[in-house]
Amino acid sequence: MSTRVTAGIKAKGSCGSRNVFFGVAPHKGLCVTATGTVMHGKLEGGKRVVKGMRRFEEIPHTGRNGWLNLLKFWRENRFQQLHKHMERTFNTLGPIYREKLGTLSSVNIMLPSDVSELFKSEGLHPRRMTLQPWATHREIRNHSKGIFLKNGEEWRADRLQLNKEVMMSAAVKRFLPLLDEVAKDFCQMLQTRMEKEGRGEKGKCVLTIDPSPDLFRFALEASCHVLYGERIGLFSSSPSLESQKFIWAVERMLTTTPPLLYLPPRLLLRMGAPLWTQHATAWDHIFSHAEARIQRGYQRLSTSLDRASPAGTAGSQYTGVLGQLMEKGQLSLDLIKANITELMAGGVDTTAVPLQFALFELGRNPEVQESVRQQVRVSWAQAGGDPHKALQGAPLLKGTIKEVLRLYPVGITVQRYPVRDIVLQNYHIPAGTLVQACIYPMGRSEKVFEDPLRFDPSRWSREEGQRVEAAGFRSLAFGFGARQCVGRRIAESEMQLFLMHILLSFHLSVPSSEDLNTTVTLILQPETPPRITFSKL
């Protein structure tokens, strides 16, 4: 690949070493053991700990005036290149720095060992940064908030109910056949298109396209099938205008969120700022789309229950996450609507975009593509049509998704507010400080990964048999712990099944293997979607 992360010489000890890290000599200071105990000048657990913990104010920073920093960001268009800004700043200031933008202040870290310490202090009710523009929209429209915008015991109670339908293994087995069906239909749609538009002789046609519009339709079709238990027909020759508007609304919502994070949303609301108006209008359309689907789902479930046995069950047919939540009745209808809407809004771009990167990387790494395909073929043949068994027998599929998300994480940070004071890189971090684990720079750092810019899905299988320090904190695209992405199992299964059927049906190549330029809205995505060549196997 064309660019390599510049890194200094790795320090031999976590504290007090005079070796250079990222060009910055680490400061001496107190160190925290694995159990969080601060020791003075002793060896404990093999770590040297020394005196001299540094004050919070001594953490390297990018400028003390948040408003000047924000103005500079806007002038230099840094929001769209925030991931690159973080990478450069770590290379300049070292593995920890402070940043203030407008009203938002954070401490940014990128080493797995520091991330491990952060997550040990997240408490029973982990908090991440609240997306205030989203919360303000819910408040002014009198919508209930889903778990994405909640904290405390209220968040925990709702999350435990949702976990049963989207995270537990029994739930995954219920919705896997639905995702498998959509993935197969997508490949059939692509085959039909290849026969109509492809070049070459019959049976040897190739089709070179920008697949991103089709991937967005696939993600929306799959999400609707799992969440609402219904297909919406997006693979037809003329997809509905309603669905196209929903995709547009999600993209507009994501694009307008980042600038609003650093300004008071209610002030912009009073001013009638166009940016806020666009953001609120996009959310209104998302809610309108979800409301229509939820009402249809409610009517179907009511009809099904009326026809059911006296026990009142809707039968053995899986009714989607919506139907399961309604049947069990543990959440109010308003809370079900709020959470289903959030899952829908967060379930389209966040799978469609990584699939763009996955097709590109497999296309420009033919040896990797063939090794994954061979494993998939064997697993699929042995699974007898069972998608759960097929995925279990093809760990390279999971490795492919992890590798894509290592190089191109959907969200470039994971945030927490520690519930107690902690020490990171010998700096004191007070409880309640916003700390961001910056996973884009982490994924491309030579200090964290060997040959980090090489696309190698097998690296994750190799690591399972090795003891790698803080290994669990090297793959954080879906977050961590109790507050990890609630749609994780849906997204992982959806992307793996998609790639499985693509690799069983097509060979992938790319017209250009040049590195992709990327940009950040609320998520990381290519500046220009890559073109992919599909050839029938």
pLDDT in 10s for each residue of the chain, 537 residues: 444 333 333 333 333 333 333 333 334 333 443 333 343 434 333 333 446 899 999 999 999 999 999 999 989 888 899 999 999 999 999 999 999 998 899 999 999 999 999 999 999 999 998 899 999 999 999 999 999 999 999 999 999 999 999 999 999 999 999 999 999 999 999 999 998 888 876 667 899 999 999 999 999 999 999 999 988 888 877 777 888 899 999 999 999 998 888 888 888 888 888 999 999 999 999 999 999 888 888 888 877 766 654 433 444 678 899 999 998 889 999 999 999 999 999 999 999 999 999 999 999 999 999 999 999 999 999 999 999 999 999 999 999 999 999 999 999 999 999 999 999 999 999 999 999 999 999 999 999 999 999 999 999 987 665 555 556 799 999 999 999 999 999 999 999 999 999 999 999 999 999 999 999 988 999 999 999 999 998
31 is in an annotated binding site: no
Q: Indicate the domain borders of the chain.
A: 78-304+317-536
Q: Please, which residues have CB within 8 angstroms of residue 346's CB and are 6 or more apart in sequence?
A: 148, 485, 487
Whole-number Å distance between alpha carbons of 66 and 84: 19
User: What superfamily would CATH give domain 78-304+317-536?
Assistant: Cytochrome P450 (1.10.630.10)
What is the value of pTM for the model shown? 0.86
Residue 199, pLDDT score: 85
170 near 163, Cβ under 8 Å? no
Whole-number Å distance between alpha carbons of 453 and 407: 8
Q: Identify which of 223, 253, 200, 452 has the alpha carbon closest to the alpha carbon of residue 320.
A: 223
Residue 203, pLDDT score: 64
Whole-number Å distance between alpha carbons of 413 and 183: 29
Residue 459, pLDDT score: 94
Whole-number Å distance between alpha carbons of 49 and 42: 6
DSSP-derived secondary structure for 435-482: EEEEHHHHHT-TTTSSSTTS--THHHHHHHTS--TTGGGS--TT--GG
Residue 74, pLDDT score: 87
Residue 486, pLDDT score: 95
